[in-house]
Structure 1
């Protein structure tokens, strides 16, 4: 792709969203195959802003939120797991796997962004939640995951205690909501082309090819 600058890709997502992992992995595979110079910017979205602190069992959550049967819920998770396996990501949906609110998670991600590590922390949190079933509503878990990728744990803890980025994160969330984003993943290419949902590697390759033609 011949452009004067890298292709900007904005991804609005939540670390509780399995399709955000799948969609990103599909996009990453398409980018690798297409050899597109790019830069990725992650943005906050809360799938469950009103969820209580103790969270909710994933199976019950899916049944309640999407008005589906237990069998459909199980089939959905099996489908997610297969997609993950195909993309080199492990979904470990065991008994008692829980969903949580992620407002604190987005705050520590914003802090990591100031150090150029948001992408790395985002991937680590995806794995912490979906592969290792770690509780991302627990400040201590968030601090530990940050430390595991080399970030300062004392500063990470302070960020969560004083919530210095809470207002900024809320403002960012509101911005994307005002742009009409109602579900994730939502991917904006070149600040103007919105693609929603996990599109599949081949579809992403097609999108990248179309963008390349537009820039030629």
Structure 2
């Protein structure tokens, strides 16, 4: 069985990141017995200057991209359908805001020390996209840890250390050096990069190439769908 390290570059509020994640996981499931994957997550903040209270999605898309209400409606319908096809629930009656995600990325980095990063990542997806969770709220993030049976007090203590901040900053610096224009992106075994929320079929094709000797693999970069 081929062992595969997967590092997903993402933002917690990125609409297309869970789609790419789900499709890649499905591709891995389709190849069960051939590839054993270990997941890690690298931070990419789409809106690092987002205020603590966040911003309404409609207002943000209008101000940043000049999207009309009609264009947003069409975009949202396509997004919800694509998410449904990937087995996700996007409820815009609850998911009304984009939030600052720095604290959520800190939480994911801490969870990695316990090998619980996948559990926390999937919980953030479910609570934000289906439930509208304020992922910038320390109170709500700590409550999430409690709901997962993780030691919230230990998390708060360890996340306040200088060493923790330095470790996380190295992840930010690594992502910055890649000069990505969008997320999601996936790094396989430290040196193969694929970008975009691609289809299950596309990911499975690339996994088949990855399972072969390195000289048979071609680096693929795709724009986010």
Do the two structures share a fold, i.e. TM-score over 0.5? yes
1:10 partnered with 2:7: yes
3-state DSSP of counterpart to 1:198: coil
For structure 1, the residue ranges without an aligned partner over 5 or more in a row are none
Give the equivalent residue in structure 1 for 2:203.
204
Distance 1:65 1:163 in 2: 35
Higher relative contact order structure (alpha carbons within 8 Å, sequence separation ≥ 6) = 1
Q: Please point out which of 14, 21, 24 is paired with 2:21.
A: 24
Distance 1:21 1:95, change over 3 A: closer
Give the equivalent residue in structure 2 for 1:124.
123
Give the equivalent residue in structure 2 for 1:111.
110
TM-score of the superposed pair, with normalisation by structure 2: 0.87
Give the equivalent residue in structure 1 for 2:184.
185
| Displacement over 6 Å in runs of 4+ | none
Give the equivalent residue in structure 1 for 2:54.
55
Aligned length: 212
Cα drift, residue 96 of structure 1: 7.0
For structure 2, the residue ranges without an aligned partner over 5 or more in a row are 217-225
3-state DSSP of counterpart to 2:212: helix
Q: 1:71-96: per-residue Cα shift (whole Å, max 9, x none)?
A: 22222222121122122211011277
**Stretch moving more, 184-193 or 131-140:** 184-193
RMSD across aligned positions (CA): 1.9
Q: 1:115-157: per-residue Cα shift (whole Å, max 9, x none)?
A: 1111110110111111110111111100011111110122234
Distance 2:95 2:41 in 1: 29
Distance 1:31 1:54, change over 3 A: same
1:134 partnered with 2:138: no
TM-score of the superposed pair, with normalisation by structure 1: 0.90
Asked whether the equivalents of residues 108 and 159 of structure 1 are also in contact (C-alpha less than 8 Å), the reply is no
Distance 1:87 1:67 in 2: 28
Distance 1:157 1:92 in 2: 30
